[in-house]
Homo-oligomer: A and B are copies of this chain.
Amino acid sequence: MVAVETESGLAETSRLTMLNGESLFCERDDRVLFENLDFSLREGQVLQIKGSNGSGKTTLLRILCGLNDSYEGKIFWYGDPIEEKVEQYYSSLIYIGHRVGVNKVLTPVENLRWSCSLQQQVADEEIYAALAKVGLRGFEESQCFTLSAGQQQRVSLAKLLLSHAKLWVLDEPFTTLDASGVKQLEGWLRDHADKGGAVMVTTHHSLSVTDLQMLDLG
């Protein structure tokens, strides 16, 4: 049920393993979603999680982020169990889920100002620049409920550009994006990995990045 393939010809052993899971097991309502699942994610890698609807992709990501604790098995952050490194782990992590974390009443700028401030200090100019990059120039001061589904998604993606987090965990980030948005985001994933970050992403797209690993949940 579980298959791990690597597409990059040569694994660069000089890079550290950032996150790895050992013999993960999860069941919901008597249905085993995955068992004996091992994976490891090195710096510079993109791990794409595949699987049909209901195979447990979202569940896996939420487990890794500590948002779901109904699992068995072990997860390590640079070799240490994550429970022991929570603070450090959370300062290096960005998670964008199905619900993107954009308050409808606030403007994109206000949203980013807050959600970034939970991790690091960000100047307003940086926020404006990031919004321009995700194609929201002119919408900086509109309240988010006036934005379309894709535009709201873009607000949350701007966080990727602002943050210095090393690990991105993205749950179907491409869904509402148009063609140009998809291309842009793919570029960011590639750049982030090339700069030594790591990405876990669920998507049905096929990604073009340097060091791609697949994890298939069936």
A residues engaging B (CB < 8 A)?
28-29, 51-58, 98, 135, 139, 142, 146-151, 153-154, 172, 175-182, 204
11 contacts between A and B (CB under 8 A): A29-B142, A53-B135, A53-B148, A53-B149, A53-B176, A53-B177, A53-B181, A54-B147, A57-B148, A149-B172, A179-B204
Residues of B within 8 A of A154 (CB): 53
Residues of B within 8 A of A204 (CB): 177-179, 182
Residue of B nearest to A177 (CB): B53
Total copies of the chain: 2
- Whether the pair A28, B146 counts as a contact (CB closer than 8 A) is yes
Q: A53's contact among B53, B55, B57, B151, by CB below 8 Å, is which?
A: B151
Check A54/B148 contact, CB under 8 A, given A172-B176, A176-B172, A182-B204: yes
Min CB gap A136→B, angstroms: 9
Distance of A135 Cα from B150 Cα, bound (Å):
28
Q: A54's contact among B52, B98, B151, B179, by CB below 8 Å, is which?
A: B151
Min CB gap A179→B, angstroms: 6
Distance of A111 Cα from B27 Cα, bound (Å):
25
